[in-house]
Amino acid sequence: MEHNDFNTIINELADLNENRWLNIRSHIGIIISGWARSEKIETGWIASEEGIGDSEYVIERVYSRFRHEVLSGKLKVDKYHEYKEVILKYTNEIITDQFNRFYNMIAGKDNTAWRRVNERLFIYAAKWLADKKIVADMAREIFQESMLTFVEKIAAKNLCFETSRDLKSYYFRILELKTFEFHRKKMQHNQRSAELVSDHLLKPFEEGKFEADDRYYSIEKVMHDSISKDERYILKHFYFHGEKLSDIAKVLRISDGNCRLKKHHALRRVADMCHKIETIQLQRPIKE
């Protein structure tokens, strides 16, 4: 619709020119679609007393209200920008009110509402994860874990979202955290795999003297001979990398309690072995 033709069209609307009204309805749809894209609003995340609506429902409601008020004389618009402001005002009112109803359905675990949310979020998340160069299988797993957390958060908390944009932003914060967690676990797995292959501890950076080197590698040999790979991993990452036992337990896929127990037993065996070695060395005759 050209702005210069607007006055002509408005005059014809008052004369019930149905072709002009059909053009107006199509144009209202264009305005609403453009606004929804720019504002990141989901026109399909709405509900009324009759059930869940969609974008066509919104367009029809806005069009019907605009037509009724123009023909009844309640509304008079002389300029194009006034017409557009009215359309967006009606749209905003309908979507704001009916999004609240839709969110209540989500919070109430309505399957139809959740299916609609899941479909849209899958599209957005798939593109976002693809941009992060995450392969399809891993992307699907991250999406599913994010959705599970998303559902649990909404079910467990008294959350409040004014628009669908706010709801999507909340989901994407969860998705970002899950993606970060995926990268962290992947790095830990790769690091642990490399360490298990090399099967020795990394020398602490701050140790530089020969005596410290000798003692460190003596302890490393004792650990290699006296405790298992998992126990060496626990001691190394706890004492030399400063990691939490709970994080180490997750990498090893054992409970926190089991991880603490393994650390305690490993320390005791290493200490006993070191004590025996030192005792033997002290008993050796000193060479003149």
Same domain as 275, residue 212:
yes
C-alpha–C-alpha distance, residues 51 and 46, integer Å: 9
Same domain as 129, residue 54:
no
Same domain as 208, residue 126:
no
Residue 282 is predicted with a pLDDT of 58
Same domain as 134, residue 94:
no
Residue 208 is predicted with a pLDDT of 42
Q: pLDDT per position in the chain (288 positions), as tens?
A: 555 566 667 666 766 778 888 888 999 999 999 999 999 999 999 998 888 999 999 999 999 999 999 888 888 887 888 899 999 999 999 999 999 999 999 988 899 999 999 999 999 999 999 998 888 888 999 999 999 999 988 888 778 888 999 999 999 999 999 998 887 877 766 666 555 555 444 444 444 443 444 444 556 666 777 788 888 888 888 876 778 889 899 889 898 889 998 888 888 887 777 767 666 655 555 444
Tell me, what CATH number does 235's domain have?
1.10.10.10
* 75 three-state secondary structure: coil
Contacts 24+ apart (CB under 8 A), 149-153: 149/174, 149/178, 150/174, 151/114
Angle at Cα 74 formed by Cα 68 and Cα 76, nearest 5°? 100
Identify the domain boundary among 194, 213, 231. 194
Same domain as 69, residue 49:
yes
pTM for the whole thing? Answer: 0.59
C-alpha–C-alpha distance, residues 253 and 141, integer Å: 18
Same domain as 208, residue 173:
no
Same domain as 130, residue 92:
no
Same domain as 39, residue 8:
yes
C-alpha–C-alpha distance, residues 256 and 246, integer Å: 5
Nearest to 99 by CA among 147, 170, 41: 41
Alpha-carbon dihedral sign for residues 201, 206, 211, 215: negative
Residue 204 is predicted with a pLDDT of 45
Residue 173 is predicted with a pLDDT of 92
- The answer to the question of residue 288 being in a domain is no
What is the domain range of residue 263?
A: 200-283
C-alpha–C-alpha distance, residues 85 and 30, integer Å: 14
- The answer to the question of residue 101 being in a domain is yes
C-alpha–C-alpha distance, residues 146 and 272, integer Å: 47
Q: What is the dihedral angle through the alpha carbons of 29, 34, 35, 37, rounded to the nearest 10 degrees?
A: 120
C-alpha–C-alpha distance, residues 77 and 267, integer Å: 83
Same domain as 11, residue 70:
yes
Identify the domain boundary among 162, 194, 226. 194
- The answer to the question of residue 179 being in a domain is yes
Residue 17 is predicted with a pLDDT of 74
Same domain as 145, residue 121:
yes
Q: List the alpha helices (DSSP H) in the chain.
A: 6-14, 18-39, 55-71, 80-107, 111-131, 136-156, 164-198, 210-226, 229-235, 245-252, 256-283
Q: With 0-12 CB in 10 A as exposed, 13-18 as middle and 19+ as buried, what is 23?
A: middle
What is the rounded end-to-end Cα distance, in angstroms, of the chain? 107
- Domain count along the chain: 3
- The answer to the question of residue 87 being in a domain is yes
Same domain as 76, residue 34:
yes
Same domain as 279, residue 228:
yes
Residue 281 is predicted with a pLDDT of 56
Count the neighbouring beta carbons within 10 Å of the beta carbon of residue 132: 13
Identify the domain boundary among 194, 216, 248. 194
Residue 128 is predicted with a pLDDT of 93
